[in-house]
Amino acid sequence: MKTILLWFQRIADGVAVIMLAAMFLIFCAQIFSRYVLNAPIGWSSELLLTLWLWVIFWTGAFCLRNKDHIRFDLLFLSVPGKVQRIFLILSALGIIIGFGISFLPTWDYITFYKIKKSAILKWRLDYVFSIYGVFLGVIILRYGIALIQYLNPNYKVQDDDKDEQVEE
């Protein structure tokens, strides 16, 4: 199972790298065209914005580990392990409930955008913004799996649940 997850992680990382490389190349082409050829490329800024949107939500859903996210854990680190486990359960429930409540209205809004197209490339905006729905679904799934682990009576708080401490 870990091998399959590692394989999916590498694919997700590869997709993110491809999107970032495409952004870099398009950005370089845009600069070259604008300042050397004196002929700006109109579609490049729209494509860059779309790729940026996709990179942010793709990596947030598939590439970042829990410890890579920004957390305010001063209180979490100052309590014993059993209380930390309760904090983990409550935070996972909060994320699942909050994102779960917003999922259907968000997906409804995204699908509403099928009637609109982007200005230059004429892409349907529901396709452009669909990555946010994917992001919501994956985050709900990830925290659902984490919640099941946290609810296991044998679960002990691991280093992945804590940030590395900076020694002074």
Last residue of a domain, one of 64, 91, 118: 64
| 96-147 confidence digits (pLDDT tens) | 999 999 999 999 999 999 999 999 999 999 999 999 999 999 999 999 999 9
**Residue-number span of the structural domain to which 14 is assigned:** 1-64
Whether residue 81 sits in one domain with residue 152: yes
DSSP state of 107: H
Single-letter amino acid code for the residue at 68: D
Whether residue 44 sits in one domain with residue 107: no
Q: pLDDT-derived band of residue 167, with 50, 70 and 90 as boundaries?
A: very low
Is 50 exceeded by the pLDDT of residue 79?
yes
Is 70 exceeded by the pLDDT of residue 68?
yes
Whether residue 109 sits in one domain with residue 56: no
Structurally, the chain folds into a number of domains equal to: 2
> Residue 117 forms beta bridges with which residues?
124
Residue with tokens 């854990």: 73
Whether residue 90 sits in one domain with residue 15: no
